[in-house]
Structure 1
C-alpha cells in the first residue's frame, strides 16, 4: 500500500495528453472574430460553437470542454473537427437539402387544377371541395398513388386557393348600369354633368335598415369576465321591429336618421323633410340624394315628387343590385356591429333610444369615408366581367 499510493497520486496529477487529431491553433484575426461572436445578442447556437473552439484553442480536451459547457462530448468533437477543417466557415450551418420530393411539379399542378373545378363537373355529389375529398379525388383520378389531405392543404395555401370557401356576388344586369354608376361616382368625386360641384352643392346618400327587432332574452346577458366571453342567451321573446332611415352627407361626414314603424313613401318623406329643413341644406343650391330602387323612392315618380316638394333636391338612383355604391350602407354596417349585435333589447323604445344616441355619438367624431372607387375602377370591373362572360359563352358553345 505504501508503494502504490504515491504512484496513484502522481499519475492522477499528470496532464492528460490530447488524443484528438484536430488541434486548434488560432491566428490573431480568427481569435478576434470568435470573440466578437460571443456578444450577448449572438445566436445561441453560434455562441456555443464559438465557446467550444475558444476552449479547444486553450488546450482543453473534448471531455473537459463538454463538462464545462454541460454538453455532449460528441458535440465538442463535431465542432472542433469542423473548425479544424474549414476554419470559421465550418461553424455555419451545413446545407440541409431535406428528403427528396415525392411529388412532381406536374402532379402538384394537376391537384391544383382539380381544386379549381366544381365537384359536380367531376361527378361528385358535393357543393365544395375539402382537403380530404381533394386527396381522395386525386388518388381516384390516378394523379398520384397516395397523398395526404395536409399536403393538399399546404399546396393550396401556397397558391391562396381555398375551394371550401365561397363568396356571393351579383353580375350587373341593368342595361344602364355603367351610366348610372358613373353618375354616382362622379358625385362622390364632386362632379356632375362634367362640371365640378359648387360650394352650395351637397351630396347625401340615403337608405333604410328594415326590420330591426327587439329581442328580449329569456335570461339577462352576462358581461365579459375572467377567461370568459360575453354570454347572450340563445332564446328570446320578440318585442316587435322598426325601421331605421338615415341620410349620410358624403363630403361633410354627417349622418341624419330617424326611426319609423316601417318603410314607405311617407317615412322617407319625413326623413327628407328632417334634413332639408336644416342648414346648410335649406339654403343650398342643389342637394343630391343618392338612393337605391326601393319602393319608397323608385322611378321618375319619386324624382318628380321630390322636386315638387323640394325644388333644390334631386334624386339620383343607383343601378339595380348595386347597393355597394351607396355609402350609407357603410354606416349601416357600423350600426350593425356596434349597436344591434348582439340583439338584446327589452322593447322597441330601447332600440330607438340606442340608435339615436349612437347617431349623436358618431357625429361627434365622424368624418367622410375614404372612398377610392372611381370610374376607372368601374371600367376595369365591367371589362373583366365582359371578358369572363364571353369566355363562358365560348366554352358553352
Structure 2
C-alpha cells in the first residue's frame, strides 16, 4: 500500500546574512529577513509496509504532473498490484486520471474522507522532512532546495522503516469521545 500526496509551494528561502553558530554562553542566531528564490512542488509516495519514499519535485502540481509521478511510482513496482491512498484534491481525480487508471488495472485509488488528510501517512513524512531538512535551511536556488530534498529522501531510504501506531484503539476512541463531549458543550453554550 502506498500513501501519496503533494507538498505544494515548498519555498527556497535564503537568509540575507549567514547564521551565527552556537558559541559558549550564546545560542545560534539568524536574521529574521530572507530572500525568496522560488518554489517547487514535491510529490511523494510512502510505502506503508517498508517506509521507503519515492519523491519527485515539479515546478507545478497539475494533474499531468501527478500522473507523470504515478508513472514513475508504478515503474518502481513493476506490475505489482498497488493500493494507493490519496486525498480528495482535484489533482487526484478527473477524466485524465480515470483514463490513466483504466490503462493501469493493477492500481486502485482509495480516497481519504474530506478533512481527514491526517489519515494519509505521507503527511507524517512531510512533517519529518520539514523539521529535519527544510525548516531552518537556507537555499540559494530552487535547484539547491530540490537537491536537499533528494538527498534527504536518499538518506531516509537507506534506513527506512514503517511508521508504527503507538496508541491503542481504546485510547484513540477515548480521546474522540472527550472531543465529542467538549464539542457538544461548546455548541450548547453558543445556542
Both proteins in one fold, TM over 0.5:
yes
Aligned equivalent of 2:58: 260
| Shift, 1:217, TM fit | 1.8
Question: For 1:270, which of 39, 46, 68 is the aligned residue?
Answer: 68
User: Unaligned regions of 5+ residues in structure 2, if any?
Assistant: none
Aligned equivalent of 1:320: 114
| Shift, 1:223, TM fit | 3.0
Describe the superposition over 1:317-371 as per-residue Cα deviations: whole angstroms up to 9, x where unpaired: 1111111111101111111111112131111110000100110011111100012
TM-score (norm 2): 0.87
Aligned equivalent of 1:294: 89
Q: Distance in 2 between matches of 1:377 and 1:262?
A: 40
Q: Root-mean-square deviation (CA), in Å?
A: 2.5
Structure number, greater radius of gyration: 1
Q: Give the 3-state SS of the residue equivalent to 1:371 in structure 2.
A: coil
Higher relative contact order (CA 8 A, sep 6+): 2
Question: For 2:28, which of 230, 243, 246 is the aligned residue?
Answer: 230
- In 2 relative to 1, CA 383–223 (structure 1 residues): closer, same or farther, beyond 3 Å? closer
Asked if 2 retains the 8 angstrom alpha-carbon contact of 1:216 and 1:345, the reply is yes
Describe the superposition over 1:195-221 as per-residue Cα deviations: whole angstroms up to 9, x where unpaired: xxxxxxxx0001111111112222122
User: Unaligned regions of 5+ residues in structure 1, if any?
Assistant: 1-202
Q: How many residues align?
A: 191
Q: How does 1:235-384 map to 2 (within 5 A)?
A: 235-278=33-76, 281-284=77-80, 286-298=81-93, 301=95, 304-372=98-166, 383-384=177-178
| Shift, 1:379, TM fit | 5.4
TM-score (norm 1): 0.44
Q: Give the 3-state SS of the residue equivalent to 2:50 in structure 1.
A: coil
Asked if 1 retains the 8 angstrom alpha-carbon contact of 2:67 and 2:97, the reply is no
Structure 1 or 2: more strand by fraction: 2
